[in-house]
Every structure is written in C-alpha cells, then in structure tokens.
Amino acid sequence: MPCMPEVTFEQISKFVAAATERCSLDLRPETRLLHDMGLDADDAEEFLRAFAQEFSVDMTNFRFQRYFGSEADAGIRWFTRKLLGDRGVEKVPLTLQDLAAAARSGKWGPSV
C-alpha cells in the first residue's frame, strides 16, 4: 500500500461530511463515528469501504465488531444511546483522527 503522508484532517473531514451528509465545519478530530455521529452497522461498513477506497487504506487488520455492531442490534444501540448516552455504548470509539492516521499510513494498524 502506498503511504499518503499528505492526507490532511481537512481532506478527511470533507470526505466524512460528503459521505454522511453533515457539515464539515461541525467535525473535529475527536468526533466519534458511532458515539457522536450514530454511524453503525451496515452504514458504518459501507462508509469504511468507501473510506478505504478513497484513501487507499489496507483494512485487513480492522476488526469491525470492536468499533461497531451488527445491523440486527443497531436499533437497540440507538435507543440505548438516546437513554444513557455514552454509558450505553460498549464499543471502542473510532474517531476522525483515527481515520486520518490510517489514511496517512495507508493501513489500519495497532496504533489505530
């Protein structure tokens, strides 16, 4: 995989904004895909495929279930987040900063 050190947070936020129909001005490095944006299950999987393609990121080491849940449980997680906030979400947060690090290195690695 080619390394893309020139990838900036601005490029990541513009991609995320376009892919999720959000305003890029509202996105910060610490913005979390599941916890803050509600991106989960099939939507998260589709988003990550597009991200990997756009930024040439090898996602071989990415463990989806660590960060997101299945489509079958998405409704329950959404409802729990509304009631309990972050306390109701047991998944590891995946931030835009994590995406930027992966885009810069060209792969999903242990530090991400």
- 15 burial type by CB count under 10 A (0-12 exposed, 13-18 middle, 19+ buried): buried
Whether this prediction's pTM lies above 0.85 is answered by no
- Answer yes or no: are the C-beta atoms of 90 and 41 closer than 8 Å: no
| Sign for the pseudo-dihedral over CA of 37, 41, 46, 48 | positive
The predicted-structure confidence for 30-66, as pLDDT tens digits, reads as follows 999 998 998 989 999 999 999 999 999 999 999 998 9
